[in-house]
């Protein structure tokens, strides 16, 4: 209610698509955020976006990515995702981790916000690559099946991390904890991937479906990423080349 209502009030021509149904009733004023982050607004807008009109943008919102983990108290899996798309392409995104540092003691700063724009960069974290020569796969914790397992096994992994949340998995890639995010199954939605994809692409990574197709984010597109997700910070071609044909045949874009 807070995110979608605040955006709709400030930018009434936006198309906003959220995982939760948008509120029709009048929203409590306490939930409306009308401030802005001046530090970010001082950054130059990439020239290819300077003429964009508000009505040309689609905003994909997942207010709580990693819901199952949230209910189980695995709070470091939880993110808030806001992605912005133009002409079907994800161009800007925010990943907020409300519980970042929640186990780091009373003096630690709780929470952080990672954000990025294509052509400008990604900010709010320290970019780090996974150990060279290691194939560390991050994949689903709560939506496993035979296709997912077959695809992960085909990557010849040194280690497999099973965690919740698409946002969380992309953070593992950009902070060097994992080499590839492999999810060979439907289940992930556009609001799960829009913002994280931007952060990854802004630092030279790549996110596609399991066939290698770019994801589309125009407002008419179906919400399900029915052909899964494959994402890496580096060495995308290695992982893409190892996706079994049987997996590709089972996942229709």
- The enclosing domain of 73 has a CATH number of 3.30.540.10
- In a 10 Å sphere around its CB, with 0-12 CB exposed, 13-18 middle and 19+ buried, how is residue 186 labelled? middle
Whether residue 146 is found in the same domain as residue 233: yes
Closest CA to 163 of 65, 18, 63, 19: 65
Q: What is the pTM of this model?
A: 0.96
Q: Are 147 and 113 in contact (CB under 8 A)?
A: no
CA 38 to chain centre: 24
**∠ Cα 167 172 177 (to 5°):** 170
Residue 151: partners with Cβ closer than 8 Å, 6 or more residues away: 182, 184, 210, 228, 243, 244, 247
Q: Which CATH number fits the domain that encloses residue 206?
A: 3.40.190.80
Residue 131 lies in a domain: no
Closest CA to 19 of 229, 186, 191: 191
Write the DSSP symbol of residue 8: H
Helix (H, G, I), strand (E, B) or coil at 216: coil
Whether residue 146 is found in the same domain as residue 78: no
Whether residue 13 is found in the same domain as residue 103: yes
Query: So what's the pLDDT on residue 143?
Result: 80
Whether residue 100 is found in the same domain as residue 144: no
CB burial readout 204-223, b (16+ within 10 A) else e: ebbbbbbeeeebbbeeeeee
Domain boundary among 76, 92, 123: 123
Q: Are 240 and 230 in contact (CB under 8 A)?
A: yes
Q: Which residues are annotated as a binding site?
A: 19, 62, 64-65, 192
Residue 79: partners with Cβ closer than 8 Å, 6 or more residues away: 62, 65, 66, 95, 96, 97, 98, 165, 167, 168, 171
Whether residue 101 is found in the same domain as residue 143: no
Overall number of domains in the chain: 2
Range of the domain at 222: 136-250
Domain boundary among 93, 123, 153: 123
Residue 130 lies in a domain: no
Q: Are 121 and 207 in contact (CB under 8 A)?
A: no
Whether residue 88 is found in the same domain as residue 198: no
User: Rounded to whole angstroms, what are the CA distances from 232 to 52, 168, 169?
Assistant: 29, 13, 10
Whether residue 51 is found in the same domain as residue 159: no
Tell me phi and psi for residue 119, to 5 degrees.
90, -10
Whether residue 154 is found in the same domain as residue 243: yes
Query: So what's the pLDDT on residue 23?
Result: 65
Residue 129 lies in a domain: no
Q: Are 79 and 65 in contact (CB under 8 A)?
A: yes
Helices marked H in the chain: 2-10, 38-41, 67-71, 146-154, 166-174, 190-202, 236-241, 245-250
Q: For each of the chain's 253 residues, which pLDDT tens digit applies?
A: 999 999 999 999 999 999 877 766 788 999 999 999 998 999 999 999 999 999 999 999 999 999 999 999 999 999 999 999 999 999 999 999 999 999 999 999 999 999 999 999 999 999 999 999 999 999 999 888 899 999 999 999 999 999 999 999 999 999 999 999 999 999 899 999 999 999 999 999 999 999 999 999 999 999 999 999 999 999 999 999 999 999 999 998 8
Question: CA–CA separation, 27 vs 174, rounded Å?
Answer: 36
Residue 155 lies in a domain: yes
Q: Which residues are annotated as a binding site for Mg(2+)?
A: 19, 62, 64-65, 192
């Amino acid at each position: 209610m807070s995110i979608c209502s605040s955006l709709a009030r400030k930018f009434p021509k936006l198309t906003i698509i959220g995982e939760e149904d948008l509120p029709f009733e009048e929203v409590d004023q306490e939930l409306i955020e009308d401030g802005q982050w001046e530090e970010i607004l001082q950054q130059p807008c990439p020239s290819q976006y300077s003429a964009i009109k508000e009505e040309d943008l689609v905003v994909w919102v997942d207010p709580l990515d990693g819901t199952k983990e949230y209910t189980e108290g695995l709070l470091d899996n939880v993110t808030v995702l806001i992605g912005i798309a133009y002409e079907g392409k994800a161009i800007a995104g925010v990943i907020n981790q409300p519980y970042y540092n929640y186990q780091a003691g009373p003096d630690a700063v709780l929470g952080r916000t990672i954000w990025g724009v294509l052509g400008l960069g990604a900010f709010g974290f320290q970019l780090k690559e996974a150990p060279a020569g290691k194939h560390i796969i991050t994949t689903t914790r709560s939506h496993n099946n035979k296709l997912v397992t077959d695809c992960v096994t085909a990557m010849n992994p040194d280690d497999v991390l099973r965690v919740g949340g698409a946002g969380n998995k992309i953070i593992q890639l950009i902070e060097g904890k994992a080499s590839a995010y492999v999810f060979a199954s439907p289940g992930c939605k556009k609001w799960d991937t829009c913002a994280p994809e931007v952060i990854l692409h802004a630092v030279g990574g790549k996110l596609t479906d399991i066939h290698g197709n770019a994801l589309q984010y125009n407002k008419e597109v179906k919400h399900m990423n029915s052909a899964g997700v494959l994402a890496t910070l580096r060495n995308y071609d290695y992982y893409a080349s190892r996706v079994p044909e049987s997996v590709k045949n089972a996942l229709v874009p």
